Amino acid sequence: MSDAATEIKVPVVPAELERVPLVQNNRSFGWISDRVSAITEGKAPKWWWWSFIPSVCLLGLLGAMLFYQITTGVGVWGNHHPTMWGWDIINFVWWIGIGHAGTLISAILFLMRQRWRTAVNRAAEAMTIFAVMCAGIYPGVHVGRVWFDWWLFPIPTYQGLWPQFRSPLMWDVFAVSTYFTVSVLFWYVGLIPDLATMRDRAKTKIKQFVYGFFALGWTGSNRHWSNYEKAYLILAGLSTPLVLSVHSIVSLDFAVSQLPGWHTTIFPPYFVAGAVFSGFGMVLTLLIPLRSMCHLEDIITMRHIDVMCKVTLATGCIVSYAYVMEFIIAWYSGSAMEKFHFMNRALGPMWWGWVMMMGCNMIVPQLFWFKKVRSNLVIVFIMSIFINIGMWFERFVIVVVGLYREFLPSNWGYFKPTWVDICTYLGTFGLFFTCFLLFMRFLPMIAISEVKGVTPEADPHHPSAGGHGNGGKH
Amino acid sequence: MKTIPPTDTTPVTGRHYWRGLDQLADTPEFKTFLEREFPANASELTDPVSRRHFVKIMSASFALAGIGLGATGCRRPEDKLLPFGKAAEGFIHGTSQFFATAMPTRGGAIPLVAKSYEGRPLKVEGNAMFPGSNGGTDRFAQASILNLYDPDRATRFAKGTGKDRASITSGEALEALAGIANKFAANQGAGLALLGERTNSPSRRRLHQEIAKKLPQAKWYLYDAIDSEIHQRAATKAFGKSVKPLFRYDVADTILALDCDFIGGEEDAHNSIRQFTGKRKIEKPEDGLNRLYAVESLFTLTGVNADHRLRIAASAVIQVAAAIAAELGVNVGAMVSNSKVEFDKKWIVECAKDLKATGGKSLVVAGVRQPMAVHLIVAAINEKLGNIGKTVELVEAPATISAGISELAESLNKGEVDTLVIAGANPIYNAPADLKWAATQRKAKTVVRLGYYEDETGVSADWHFPLAHYLESWNDGRTSDGTLVPVQPLIAPLFGGLSDLEFMARLAGLTETNPNKIVRATFATITGDSSEAAWNKFLHDGFARGTAAKKTGASWSSSSLSEALTALTPAATSKDNLEVVLYRDAKMDDGRYANNGWLQELPDPITKITWDNAVLVSRTTARALDVENGDVVEISAGGKTIKGAIWTQPGMADYSLGIALGYGREQVGRVGVGTGFNGFPLYSGKTGYIVSGVSLKKVGGEKYPIACTQTHWSMEGRAIVREANLQQFKDHPDFADKMNAPVPPRPANHVGEWPVSLYPNPLDEAKKTALHQWGMAIDLNGCVGCGTCVVACQSENNIPIVGKDLVSRGREMHWLRIDRYYSADPTKRAWNSTFKPDEKQQFEEWIDDVQAVNQPMLCQHCEAAPCESVCPVNATVHDHEGLNVMAYNRCVGTRYCSNNCPYKVRRFNYLDYNKRSLKELKGPFYPTTLLHSTEGEWDLARWWKNQDAGMRLDDEWDLIRMLKNPDVTVRMRGVMEKCTFCIQRIEGAKIAQKVKAGESGDVVVPDGTIKTACEQACPAGAIVFGNIADDNSRVAKLKKQQRDYSVLDFLDTKPRTTYLAKVRNPNPAMPDYADPFTFDEFEKQNGNPFGHHGGHDEAHAPAAAKGAH
């Protein structure tokens, strides 16, 4: 190929700003396939086992806690009168929020032709799915009578009763289940070409069969690619409104009620921004170590990190704006209860929740204005942890602080979690990481075909390797 | 059913006859028959039985017991009950029957109507037919039904103490009793001592006299740990003849209560509440209110409801009494000038002036814990004010014919007592400490006890007889005004207990031991009418008309006052001279209700503490002694030391320690175990209930958790309870509406409702065709905060108790709670005190001088209910009659409804409270059914066999289930529940009305037919429920009053429960005259609701210029 290329006269391209290449060091297609597949094909490294075993233990803890809670009653948790929702809903919203980055990266950025997404979208989507699974546990088991959960679905039964469509919890059921379904589909469709790659590289019969089964007979023909691209585009189109709707609807759980601090119209956009913020936080938390553990520095480059930091900064600023705006709205509303709520949020007995929220979500991300910070992986990693913590506290402030002191002071009461609350939460990490670690061991965690698509070689107009220009210019 | 008449099971006394050839033959079958405690089948009650099975057995045992009434006097009392198996005439299965009865109290009796469902008494209500009664009761009456089904009550006849204690058959026990009777019949009762509790039963008095004739050497003693007889003793002293004072709160315009908690801890409080609030539930300002001055150390319900309150040590109350007396011109000698305590002189002067101005319609009362001297001074004051015969009626009262417990102790110490019979009382727990009763009692050779529990006294007696509940036995009583009332049984004694009448008759070897006959004979003696018709009418009505005690004139003896004046002037209390005030607990009484879960879990009316008592201290005291809430302290006085946990109580007098009696029981059932601290060791005959010279010491670092249901004290200036002074009410009759949140101005051309709602409410359509629209009005001027309604609701609606641990986690289940807010002069509150954690309140200065308000809070049945729209499964919906109904079966338990309820009146079954015993309700490790076993059987296997079975022991479960109201679902875990406006009563009345209407089609339930449980129990009549669609209904009229408002009006939830604002009536001349503090707090936050002028300033402006906004 290189011989032929030298014979063609290529007109000199006018001076153009060179973009930083998306895949560094001019890696070839083969290298990408090998490197990504190696994670699944080689022996599991020690660090994987060191992560996997504790994760499975935590997953067991989750099982035990759910078993205990379901057999005994919601009373094993700390929520009480008046704070009837506690860590159950906080963690539900928190995990759902985390589940936002994946689909945002894969759908919205896809539609916007943000090509850098290819390096992180697979892992982020997987993260989304596992986070939504963790989230989904909570509304499922937090109810008093788990065995009647199916009453929340619109199933025609002999009872002749339908769910109540006015209830935001009902909307939640639809929103979350739709989001989960579409996210899984989207993720799976994106996986098909890579599954075929895995199939082709597989050395055992079982692997060949399993990968082959899920690859749906992918041959890489033009027709396949054409259908695939269309399906992917359609799913991206479908997912995009879902990214916005899920967390909007989750926010309506609060906004539709009439509690001071909950009953507010800015919740939907503020929740979506918060979700993207926390989602990117979690993506950073996951990918920064993975990148070096799996030696993917050439694929998940510093540029990726940099871009994600910028998204985090932008959404962090939106959330901060909302935090401040809430106070202004409370003041401007003239509602004594609203005013009290926000005074109490900042000065009341749970002031520390608010301080954590403001500190982690408003102040910490401001460091991302600095290029030096964005390019220091250790700092970025630590900050991403802070963002995760901060977003947890945001939900804490909304759920618990919204409930523990409201209209009638006779109802006021202080919320304390129990050990079961804490262990259940830790257990969901077990589920999340168990799933994620299995995912990275058995599926390509980088979208191989898509990453190849953004390399310079993939450009039909691009001179093959060895010519001038060694990065994607798109 | 063919039943074979059984041979008598009980041994005879007197001449011995063969009862049959079987007995002669002494066959084993006959022996087993004799040994059985109950007739065949009845003893199977101890097996796990279903409710249906229980009814079957009870019917059978009634049937057996009812047959073969012989002439012998040794029959069991149940032989008079109708055989249930042969159903009574007109009995319909599934409907309840109502019987008039009465609950005996110490100094009276509460006339009741008890509801019986298929042979099980389920609920008691006041007898509204009783003259003057409004059908209200008190907490104890409402909770007494739970005692009937208490699995821990004495269920056996027992013999021996300690390890030797063994169950015996009733036959053996009665034989032993007969043995005692025979023994003392021979020596005229020498060496026999009887210790009983005070009662107002004429039959017992008659029996007493008969026994005195038969056994002249036998001695009777009475003991009550709460000595409420002091009123009678004082009146007897002051008026020189045996009289009892009746305080007429319904006549008095000005009342001065000197440490007298006539709304709370005093005897017969429910009557006092009815009388007192009768003058406060005003319709318009012109009606005028009575005025209550309270002088007290504890913050009591009387203080809460007072218009003026003087906070002073209990020991100093005598000084206040003397000062008032002196001010009124009573010669109190040097008492006032010798005074060592300080208080506001002007307060005394103006109070005395006010009393004088209303002379003849004023009333001064002293509390039971105050010494005799105070009572005598008070008698002199009432005499001076011309109140005697007007607000203080003197009625004839028979003199006490028994000696007290100290005489008995003396007698025991001298070795004069051979056999000590204790009927009812529990002196080992609650006798004055100086008597060292546990040791003293053992000086008798034999101790026989008749008791409801095998309690402290019970376990140390040689013989223990189970006492029958008042719903299981025949008795009679006189109410506080002396009217004769019957106590008739609704059920045969569940565990074969004896009534005290039968026990005493047997003990004395009287020929007539059938309590029914004893009571009937007494009735005939009192009324002079022995006809069947009169007796039946007596039982039907529940009282005998015209038997009230006669009013009597008596002249005051001035010498009684001089006796009072010899009393020592008390030293002022200080950090080094603390005093302890021991008081009758609002729930435990003297400890007799310690095993009653409803009462244990009922929040104390003032402190809102459940399951415990505490050492109540003022903030100043706490600071001086360096203690804070929950600190365990040792309190020593006169060589005795008790432990207790500190609780800072707003409004307490400084350097007074308040300790409720009745807690810290050592021998108590499963419910009462480990609750509270025992104050009785500090109580002695000499010091009485007010113990001076007390020292307090912190027990190093020890903390005791206290479960309180309302942790935040202040209302934060919100218009939740709305209050005004009478003057403000006069100037602004619409003050309650003025405190509503502002609404947007109404456009000039707008017609109809304003503000307009965005969406049409579907209920508005349904309203047009519905027959009834239910609503409730609660008069905050009527509600004194006693808490009777809470227990009544619990009893009616099968509300479980959850135990201390879960109460402290905020999970109590009461559908109706009483919110109590303290308010203070807002200038005394720091701006940030609102934002401090609740446990910091105890250190804040504003709590020193507070006012308090009460507000019953229950489901408001909002027309635009926030709970309904958020339920994802339609479990809570509205009905066309305006009820917010809850479909428990549909509820999955998302708890969103509770979060969205601004009143937070919904309760969630966090655990399976009904099926878990209390000890399984303690965190943080709650046993799961999958790992836990009950009575040696795996819970899941139990459940598999019987889906009703839970983690309760079978004996508990069987009894507790019998108490459940069959008209109300028993909720399982994971289900939300709340007040239903007693929908079972509404539906019952609607069905009854439909049946009654027949062809006429008149199916609208008449006003007053339906009373919710809380309404029916309320002694003040503060709660009124009814059809608001009917303009003439009581509730509709109340809602039209100008005081009517809805809580959180600005949310536009349109509650069906509305409140009538509170009006206080302070005396403008008093130094502490002020707006109600809640009003000031409101004003500080929201501005003056009446416009530019200050509320109280306006009082002086011309009337025409006011309130016209």
ipTM: 0.90
Angle between the N-to-C axes of helices B372-385 and B230-239, in degrees from 0 to 180, rounded to the nearest 10: 60
Nearest to B939 by CA among B948, B546, B370: B948
Give the model's confidence band at A19: pLDDT under 50 very low, under 70 low, under 90 confident, else very high.
low
Beta-bridge mates of residue B1057: B776
Distance CA B597, CA B469 (A): 17
Angle between the N-to-C axes of helices B139-148 and B954-963, in degrees from 0 to 180, rounded to the nearest 10: 130
B975 contacts A144? CB cut-off 8 A: yes
More confident residue, A35 or A353: A353
Identify the three-state secondary structure at position B530: coil
- Mean pLDDT on B1058-1073: 92
State residue B790's pLDDT score. 95
Distance CA B483, CA B544 (A): 7
Angle between the N-to-C axes of helices A121-141 and A419-442, in degrees from 0 to 180, rounded to the nearest 10: 150
Share of chain B above pLDDT 70, in %: 90
State residue A13's pLDDT score. 66
Distance CA B62, CA B60 (A): 5
Asked if residue B1086 has pLDDT above 70, the reply is yes
The string of pLDDT tens digits covering residues B827-860 is 888 888 889 998 899 998 889 889 999 999 999 9
Mean pLDDT value across chain B:
85
Mean pLDDT value across chain A:
88
* Number of A–B residue contacts, CB under 8 Å: 200
From chain A, the residues in CB contact with B811 under 8 A are 75, 80-81
- The DSSP bridge pattern shows strands B656-660 and B484-487 to be unpaired
The string of pLDDT tens digits covering residues A125-156 is 899 999 999 999 999 999 999 999 999 888 88
Distance CA B741, CA B720 (A): 11
Asked if residue B39 has pLDDT above 70, the reply is no
A407 contacts B902? CB cut-off 8 A: yes
- Mean pLDDT on B151-164: 87
Location of structure tokens 């660090």:
A47
Residue A245 to chain B, least CA–CA distance (Å): 19
Q: Where are the alpha helices (DSSP H) in A142-167?
A: none
The string of pLDDT tens digits covering residues B245-265 is 999 999 999 999 999 999 998
Distance CA B985, CA B1001 (A): 21
Asked if residue B10 has pLDDT above 50, the reply is no
Out of B810, B903, B972, closest to residue A408 by CB: B903
A80 contacts B896? CB cut-off 8 A: no
The beta-carbon contacts of B532-536 under 8 Å, at least 24 apart in sequence, are: none
Asked if B465 and B434 touch (Cβ cutoff 8 Å), the reply is no
What is the dihedral sign for C-alpha B791, B797, B798, B799?
A: negative
- Mean pLDDT on B707-717: 91
More confident residue, B34 or B695: B695
Nearest to B911 by CA among A139, A72, A80: A72
Identify the three-state secondary structure at position B378: helix
The string of pLDDT tens digits covering residues B996-1053 is 888 888 899 999 899 999 999 999 999 999 999 999 999 999 999 999 999 999 888 9
B910 contacts A74? CB cut-off 8 A: yes
Asked if B875 and A164 touch (Cβ cutoff 8 Å), the reply is no
A84 contacts B898? CB cut-off 8 A: yes
B904 contacts A82? CB cut-off 8 A: yes
Which of A191-200, A459-468, B1085-1094 has the largest mean confidence? A191-200
Query: Residue B15 contacts by C-beta under 8 Å, 6 or more apart in sequence?
Result: none
A154 touches chain B (CB under 8 A): no
Distance CA B947, CA B939 (A): 10
What single-letter amino acid sits at B233? R
Chain A residue with CA closest to B809: the answer is A80
What single-letter amino acid sits at B880? H
- Mean pLDDT on B617-643: 91
Q: What is the largest CA-CA distance in chain A?
A: 88
**Torsion angle (degrees, nearest 10) of CA B88, B93, B95, B99:** 20
State residue B94's pLDDT score. 79
More confident residue, B221 or B62: B221
Location of structure tokens 């973009």:
A19
In this structure, the number of other CB atoms found within 10 A of the CB of residue B832 comes to 10
Read off the tokens for A356: 């954590």
Location of structure tokens 């008592």:
B613
State residue A20's pLDDT score. 67
State residue B1097's pLDDT score. 42
From chain A, the residues in CB contact with B720 under 8 A are 408-409
Q: Suggest the residue from B823, B833, B910 to mutate for an interface test with chain A (most A CBs closer than 10 A).
A: B910
Out of A81, A152, A340, closest to residue B872 by CB: A152
Distance CA B724, CA B128 (A): 32
Read off the tokens for A68: 């205990």
Distance CA A177, CA A169 (A): 12
377-436 of A, contacting B, C-beta below 8 A: 403, 405-414, 418-420
CA distance to A31, A221, A306, per residue, from A455 (Å): 12, 20, 19
- Mean pLDDT on B748-776: 85
Share of chain A above pLDDT 90, in %: 59
CA distance to A51, A60, A381, B969, B1103, per residue, from A46 (Å): 9, 21, 22, 59, 90
Query: Residue B811 contacts by C-beta under 8 Å, 6 or more apart in sequence?
Result: A75, A80, A81, B802, B908, B910
Distance CA A185, CA A191 (A): 10
Give the model's confidence band at A469: pLDDT under 50 very low, under 70 low, under 90 confident, else very high.
very low
With 0-12 / 13-18 / 19 or more C-beta atoms within 10 angstroms meaning exposed / middle / buried, residue B160 is: middle
DSSP string, A45-80: PHHHHHHHHHHHHHHHHHHHHHHHHHHH-GGGSS--
The string of pLDDT tens digits covering residues B453-509 is 998 888 888 899 999 999 999 999 999 888 999 999 988 888 888 898 999 888 888
Task: State CA A52 to chain mean position distance.
Answer: 20
Asked if A285 and A389 touch (Cβ cutoff 8 Å), the reply is no
Identify the three-state secondary structure at position B658: strand
Read off the tokens for B569: 């002037």
Angle between the N-to-C axes of helices B202-214 and B500-507, in degrees from 0 to 180, rounded to the nearest 10: 10
- Mean pLDDT on B607-623: 93
State residue B65's pLDDT score. 40
321-380 of A, contacting B, C-beta below 8 A: 336, 340, 343-344, 347-349
The string of pLDDT tens digits covering residues B355-367 is 999 988 999 999 9
Give the model's confidence band at A110: pLDDT under 50 very low, under 70 low, under 90 confident, else very high.
confident
Distance CA B918, CA B937 (A): 18
Distance CA B277, CA B577 (A): 38
Chain B residue with CA closest to A72: the answer is B928
Query: Residue B277 contacts by C-beta under 8 Å, 6 or more apart in sequence?
Result: B781, B782, B784, B1020, B1021, B1022
Asked if residue B329 has pLDDT above 60, the reply is yes
Distance CA B241, CA B250 (A): 25
Nearest to B388 by CA among B419, B353, B359: B359
Asked if residue B1064 has pLDDT above 60, the reply is yes
Which of left, alpha, beta for B1001 (phi over 0: left; psi -120 to 50: alpha)?
Answer: left
With 0-12 / 13-18 / 19 or more C-beta atoms within 10 angstroms meaning exposed / middle / buried, residue B796 is: buried
State residue A17's pLDDT score. 64
From chain B, the residues in CB contact with A249 under 8 A are none
Asked if B114 and B98 touch (Cβ cutoff 8 Å), the reply is yes
- Mean pLDDT on B325-345: 85
State residue B1020's pLDDT score. 92
Angle between the N-to-C axes of helices A267-293 and A121-141, in degrees from 0 to 180, rounded to the nearest 10: 120
Distance CA B648, CA B609 (A): 12
Distance CA B207, CA B201 (A): 10
**Torsion angle (degrees, nearest 10) of CA B578, B581, B586, B587:** 80
Residue A412 to chain B, least CA–CA distance (Å): 6
Beta-bridge mates of residue B1023: B778
What single-letter amino acid sits at A90? I
State residue B817's pLDDT score. 94
